[in-house]
Amino acid sequence: MFSFVLQRLVQSVIVVLILSIVLFVGVRLIGNPVDILISSEASEADRLAAIVALGLDKPLWEQYLTFLGNAVRGDWGTSFVYKEPVVGILLQRLPASLELGLVAFVLAVSISIPAGLYAGLRPQSPLGRGIMAFSLVGISIPTFWQGMLLIVAFGIALPILPVGDRGQLATHFGITSSLWTLDGWSHVIMPAFSLALLKMSLLMRVTRAATMEICRLDFVKFAYAKGVRNRKVVIGHILRNALVPLVTVTGIELGNLLAYGVITETVFSWPGLGKLLINSIKVLDRPMIVAQLTYTALLFIAINFLVDILHMAIDPRVKSVLRRRES
Amino acid sequence: MKKLSPAYLGLALAASTSLAPAAASAEQLRVGLSALATSVDPHFHRAGYNFDLRENISDALVYANGVTGNVEPRLAQSWEIQGDTKWVITLEPTAKFDSGEPLGADDVVYSLCRVRNVPNSPGLFSSFISTIGSITDAGDGRIEIATKKPDPNLLRNLSFIGIVENPTGRTLTYDETDCGNDNWLATGDFNSGKTSAGIGHYRVKKFTPDVEIELERNPDYYGTPAGYETVVVKSLPDNSARIAALLGGSVDVINAVPINSLESIQSSGSHHLASMPSTLVVFLLPDQGQEPTPKVSGTDGKNPFLDPRVRKALNLAINRDEIAETVMGGMALPASQVVVDGVFGHDPSLQPYPYDPAEAKRLLAEAGYPNGFSLTLNAPSDRYINGAQVAQAITAMLSQIGLNVTLETFPFSIYFTKASAYEYSLYLAGAAADTGEGLSQMINLAGTRNPEKGWGGANRGRYSSEITDKALEDAQGTLDDAKREELLRSAVAQVQKDDGYVPLYHEFGVWGVRNGVHYDANANLTNIFYTARPE
C-alpha cells in the first residue's frame, strides 16, 4: 500500500513537470501577448518597455527556470493583465467553480445512479425505456445549446430564474458561498442542471449497462435462488459490483465538472475558473493559463488517486493484486 | 435576502424555482460589458476598457467628449496658450480628493510623472505626454506646461491621464524619467481600495477582476453629480450571455450588441437601442512595402499592389452600401475616408467610392492583369463586429472582378503579430481615433511607418507618401485650428488620391438599454456611467 502511494506520487510529479514544460512552450507558440496588450497607437519605446516589464526579454529557458523556482515556493507568477498574483485570482474564482461543479455533481449522481439501476433491472418497462430516451437526448444536445435553451425558457420567456452571476453570498462555518442563500440557489440551479445534463446521461447509460451485465452473472442468480431478499441483492450485490466501473467514470467526470465547466460558465456568465481560462487565453495572459492548467492537472491526478483508493475499498480483488505485486 | 442553515437548503432549492429576478432599484444602474477594466489604477494599462473606468472614477484635466467631439473642462477650469509652446492652465478650485485635500499643482505634476513609472505595466500611457518639456507650479492654483514644440493636441492627450493625489508631501520636479522620486503608488493598492483613484463622479467600492466592479456616487464631486447612486459593472464577454442578461433583466445596459440580436432587443417592447457611428474605421490595407508580396501568386513575383491602378480597382470593387446594410444590419456607415464625419479633420467633399466592378476590371487589365491573379485575404476572426462575415462578403466581391481570392482568418491573439511581421498581402483591420480627432488617427494609419518616431503604428501595409507625411507633420505643429484642419484634410485627400487605403465602413457603437434608463451612446465607445439617469 505504502509503496503504491509512493510510486503514484513520483509518477504525479513527473507528469506535472512534463506538463509544465509543454504548457510553457505551447503557450509561447500561440502568439505574443505584447501585440494584444499594447495599444496600436503606442510608440516603439512603449512597446519595448512592456516587453521588459512582462519579463519577455529573457530567453525561454531562463523564464522557465524562474517560473519553476517560484512555483515551488508557492508563487505562481503575476498576471500580465491584472498585475495581481495569479494564485490570488484563482482562489477568488475557485469557490464559484466548486459550487457549480459540486451542485452539478450531486444532481448528476443522485439522479443518474437510481435511474440507471432501475433501467438496468427493468430494461423493458416503459419507465426504463423513458430513462434511456432521456439520456440519449441529454447526450446528443451540445452543452452550449441546451444552456441557451434553458436561459431562453426559464430566464426570458418564463422569467422565473435569474440569468448570470452567483447571486447573494453569505458566510457560515468560515465558508463564503452562494449556497447559503436562497438567491444563490436560484442562480446556481439552472447552470448546474445544464452542466449536469451530459454527465447525468452518461452515468445513466454506464450504470444501466453495468447492472444488466451483472444481473446475468451466476452469483446474482444464486443469491436469488438462495432466497435472499430482492432489496439486499440489488444493493449488496448488483450495485456494489456495478460501482467498480462507475467510480472510475464518476471520478473523471468530477474532475471535468470542477475544471472544465468552460462552456457552461461562459454561457451563464458564471464567474468561475472556466470563464477565467477562456478570457486569459483570449488575451494571452501566460501566467494565468499555465497556472490554471497546472491546477487542472493536479486536480485530475488527485481524483485519480482517490479513485484508486476507492477501488480498493469496493473491490477486494484490487488489494490482493497489489499485495501479490509487493511480495 | 434571508440566510439559511444547511438543513433548509433542500427546501430552499424547491422554493427557488418560483423566485423571480430581483427588480432593479431606481438608485442602481447595472451594466454588462464585453470587457472589464483590468485595474483601478488610472495609469496602469492603456486599453479601451481601462479608459472606461478611469473616465468615471478619476478625472483628467479635461474631457474629450465622445458625443459632441469637444474638449470640456474638468480639473482644468480654463486654459490659455501663450506663444507657441506655453500653456497656462487654471485648476478647478473646488475639486477635492477623497482625503478632503483640495487639488493642487503638485498633484498634477506627480500624476504626469507617474505615467512613466508604473512597474510591470503591460502598456504605458507615456506617448500621451511625450511632447511635454516641463510642468511648473505657476501659483494661484495655476500650472504652466511647456511643450517641446507646438502641440495642438496637448489637451486631448491629457484627457487620458487621471490625476491622483500626490502622496510625497513635496512638489516633484518634472523630467522625462523618474522626477527624482523612487517611491511610487502601487497598482495593487488602487485595486484593493487603499489608494483612491482620484477625483471622479464615482468611487470604486469593490473591484473583482474580470467579474464585477461596484461604484458608488461621489457626494463631494465638484461638478454635476452622477445620475445613479450606485453602478454595478459586470463582465459579460459572451455575446449570447450578454443579451440573455439584458433581456432576462439582470442588467439594465449592455454594450457591443451583436448584429443578430438587434431585432430581439427592438421588438422586446421593454428595451431600446442607443447607437452612434464610432470613430473606428474598418479598412483593407494592401501591402505596399515589399516585392514580391507573400500572399499573391500568378504575377511572376511582382507585387500588383505597388500599382495605384490595382489599388483603385480594389476600392471600386467593393459595394460598401451592401456591406453596411446587409452584413452589418445597418449598424455601419459606409466610409469615404479614414476620419469619420463629425471628427476634426474629416473632409466632407470626399464621397465613398462608387461600386463599379466593370471599371475595376478595366483598371486591372490596364495594369497588366486581364486575367486577375491569386490572392489571400487575411482577416481577424473575432476582433470587429461581424468582421469574419464582412471578410467573406469582400472575398466574393473581389472574385467578381476576376481575382482568385482565398480567405484566411486568424484569432485576434495571433493576427496582428503576423501583420506586424508583414506576412499578409491584403488584410482587414480597424483603427479608432483615440483622442477624438483626426490627426493622431491619420499619423497612426497613413504616416510612413517609423517606430522610433511613433508614426504609422497601424500602417502595417506600409502606405507611404511624402505629400501626406509633409501635411501631417505641418499639422502637428500648427496651433491654429482652421489652418490645421486644412492641412489634415489635404492629407486625407492625398490618401484617397493615392488609393493607399481601402476604407470600408465605420462601425456603430451599439448599446442595449432597458426602457426607463437614459444612456448615452459614445463615438469613442467609452462607457460613461455618470450621464446615465432614470427617466
Q: What is the pLDDT of residues A202-211, one digit of tens each?
A: 888 888 888 8
Closest CA to A315 of A244, A252, A246: A244
Nearest to A36 by CA among A295, A287, A285, A288: A285
| C-alpha–C-alpha distance, residues A271 and A265, integer Å | 7
C-alpha cell at A153: 425558457
Closest to B44 measured CA to CA, from B235, B185, B242: B185
Task: Enter the C-alpha cell of residue B397.
Answer: 466581391
Length of chain B: 535
Give the helix/strand (H/E) hosting B82: strand B76-82
Closest residue, chain A, to B235 (C-alpha): A269
List of chain B residues whose C-beta atoms are within 8 Å of the C-beta of residue A44: 451-452, 454
List the end-to-end C-alpha distance of chain A, in Å, as a whole number.
11
> Which chain B residue shows the shortest CA-CA distance from A89?
B209
For residue B210, the model assigns a pLDDT of: 84
* Residues B13, A189: C-beta atoms closer than 8 Å: yes
For residues B50 and B44, what is the distance between their CA atoms, to the nearest angstrom? 8
> Is the Cβ pair A276, B210 closer than 8 Å?
yes
Binary contact (B4, A284; C-beta < 8 A): no
pLDDT tens string for chain B (535 positions)?
334 344 443 333 333 333 333 444 458 999 999 989 999 999 998 888 899 899 999 999 999 888 787 899 999 999 999 988 999 999 999 999 999 999 999 999 999 999 999 888 888 888 889 899 999 999 889 999 999 989 998 999 999 999 999 999 899 999 988 999 988 999 989 999 999 999 999 999 999 888 899 999 999 999 999 999 999 999 988 888 889 889 888 899 999 998 888 988 988 889 999 999 898 999 999 999 998 999 999 888 899 999 999 999 999 999 999 999 999 989 999 999 999 888 889 999 999 999 999 999 999 999 999 999 999 999 998 888 888 999 999 999 999 999 999 999 988 777 888 888 899 999 999 988 877 788 989 998 999 998 778 788 889 999 999 999 999 999 988 988 899 999 999 999 999 999 999 999 999 999 999 999 999 998 888 999 999 999 8
- On chain B, the residues whose CB falls within 8 A of the CB of A183 are 1, 19, 22
B234 to chain A: closest CA residue: A165
| B301 interfacial to chain A (CB closer than 8 Å) | no
Residues B20-48, buried b or exposed e (16+ Cβ, 10 A)?
Answer: ebeebeeeebbbbbbbbbbbbbbbbbbbe
Which runs of consecutive H residues, i.e. helices, occur in B17-86?
48-57
For residue A63, pLDDT over 80 is answered with: yes
Q: DSSP label at B102?
A: B
pLDDT score at A317? 72
Burial of B252 (0-12, 13-18, 19+ CB in 10 A): buried
- pTM across the whole model: 0.82
Which residue is closest to A90 within chain B, CA to CA?
A: B209
The residues in B 169-228 lying below 8 A from A, measured between CB atoms, are 187-188, 191, 208-212
| pLDDT value, residue A40 | 65
Sign, CA dihedral B353-B354-B360-B366, equals: negative
Which of A39, A158, A268 to probe the B interface (max B CBs under 10 A)? A39
**B10, exposed or middle or buried, with CB in 10 Å at 0-12, 13-18, 19+?**
exposed
Give the one of B16, B21, B187 whose C-beta lies nearest to A185's C-beta.
B16
Closest CA to B530 of B45, B96, B54: B54
pLDDT given for residue A236 in this prediction: 75
Residues 149-178 (A) with a CB less than 8 A from some CB of B: 151-152, 155-156, 159-165, 168, 170, 172
B44 touches chain A (CB under 8 A): yes
Question: What are B160's three cell numbers?
Answer: 487620458
A33 at interface of B, judged by CB pairs closer than 8 A: yes
Contact B248 A164 (CB under 8 A): yes
A122-131, A151-160, A192-201, B323-332: lowest mean pLDDT where? A151-160
Q: At what angle do helices A143-150 and A182-215 cross, to 10 degrees?
A: 130
In this structure, how many other beta carbons lie within 10 angstroms of the beta carbon of residue B351? Answer: 10
Specify the 3-state DSSP secondary structure of B195: coil
**Residues from chain A contacting residue B19 (CB–CB below 8 Å):** 160-162, 182-183, 186
Window 214-253 of A, Cβ < 8 Å to B: none
Which among B4, B242, B412 has CB closest to A181?
B4
Of B16, B440, B457, the CB nearest to A182: B16
Q: Which among B21, B124, B188 has the least Cβ separation from residue A159? A: B21
Chain B residue with CA closest to A271: the answer is B211
Residue-level pLDDT at B19: 38
Cβ-proximal residues to B77 (8 Å cutoff; 6+ apart), any chain: B90, B91, B92, B93
pLDDT for the residue A273: 86
Q: Say what the ipTM of the complex is.
A: 0.75
Q: At residue A325, does pLDDT exceed 70? A: no
Q: Does A269 touch chain B (CB under 8 A)?
A: yes
* Cβ-based contacts of B15 with chain A (< 8 Å): 182
Q: pLDDT band at residue A322, thresholds of 50, 70 and 90?
A: low
What is the phi/psi pair of residue B31, to 5°?
Answer: -120, 135
- Is the model more confident about B529 or about A87? B529
Average pLDDT over residues A255-272: 81
User: Sign of dihedral through CA atoms B181, B187, B188, B193?
Assistant: positive
Going by C-alpha positions, the residue among B213, B218, B182 that lies closest to residue B198 is B218
Kindly list the structural domains of chain B, giving each domain's residue range(s) and its CATH number in brackets, ordered by start. 28-270+515-534 (3.40.190.10), 278-507 (3.10.105.10)
Nearest chain B residue (CA) to A53: B120
Domains along chain A?
86-300 (1.10.3720.10)
Q: Which residues of A touch B431 (CB under 8 A)?
A: 40-41
CB count within 10 Å of CB B8 equals: 13
- Could you tell me if A57 lies within 8 Å of chain B, comparing CB atoms? no
In B, minimum Cα distance to A55 occurs at B120
Nearest residue to B353 via CA among B311, B305, B392, B389: B311
The CA-atom distances, in angstroms, between B381 and each of A193, B89, B390 are 32, 45, 10
pLDDT at position B11 is: 38
Query: Residue B506 pairs with which residues in a beta bridge?
Result: B281, B333
Q: In this model, does residue A10 exceed pLDDT 70?
A: yes
Q: Is A51 on the interface with B (CB under 8 A)?
A: no
Q: State the smallest CA–CA distance between residue A223 and chain B in angstroms.
A: 37
- Comparing CA positions, the residue from B387, B393, B385, B391 lying closest to residue B509 is B385
| Burial (0-12, 13-18, 19+ Cβ within 10 Å), B437 | buried
- Rounded to an integer, what is the distance from CA A37 to the centroid of its chain? 30
Cβ–Cβ < 8 Å for B465, B494: yes
Q: In sequence order, what are the beta bridge partners of B375?
A: B296, B405
B290 DSSP 8-state letter:
-
Which of A156, A160, A283 has its CB closest to that of B244?
A: A156
Q: Are B105 and B138 in contact (CB under 8 A)?
A: yes
What residues of chain B lie within 8 A of the CB of A86, using their CB?
A: none
Q: Which helix (H) or strand (E) holds B408?
A: strand B404-410
Q: How far apart are CA B312 and CA B308, in angstroms?
A: 6
d(CA B240, CA B263): 14
Cell numbers given for A241: 459490483
The shortest CB-CB distance from B123 to any of A37, A266, A281 is to: A37
Contact call for residues A194 and A268 (beta carbons, < 8 A): yes
In this complex, which of B6, B22, B458 lies closest to A40 when CB atoms are compared?
B458
Chains A–B, number of C-beta pairs less than 8 Å apart: 215
List CB contacts (< 8 A) between B121 and chain A.
49-50, 53, 83
Grid coordinates of A307: 479513485
Question: With an 8 Å Cβ cutoff, are A46 and B126 in contact?
Answer: yes
Of the candidates A83, A152, A282, the beta carbon closest to that of B413 is on A282
Burial B178-205 (b: 16+ CB within 10 A, else e): ebeeeebbebbebbeeebbbbbbbbbbe
Task: Find which of A229-243, A251-265, B209-223 is predicted with most confidence, using mean pLDDT.
Answer: B209-223
Helix or strand run (H / E) with residue B89: strand B86-91
Residues 3-42 on B with a CB inside 8 Å of A are 3-6, 9, 12-13, 15-22, 32, 38-39
Q: What is the DSSP letter of B231?
A: E
pLDDT of the residue at A1:
62
> In DSSP terms, which residues pair with B202 in a beta bridge?
B217
pLDDT at B495: 94
Going A292 to A296 to A302 to A303, the CA torsion angle's sign is: positive
Q: Which residues of A touch B6 (CB under 8 A)?
A: 172, 180
- Closest partner residue to A40 among B45, B212, B431, by Cβ? B431
Nine cell digits for residue B313: 480597382
Gyration radius from chain B CA atoms:
25
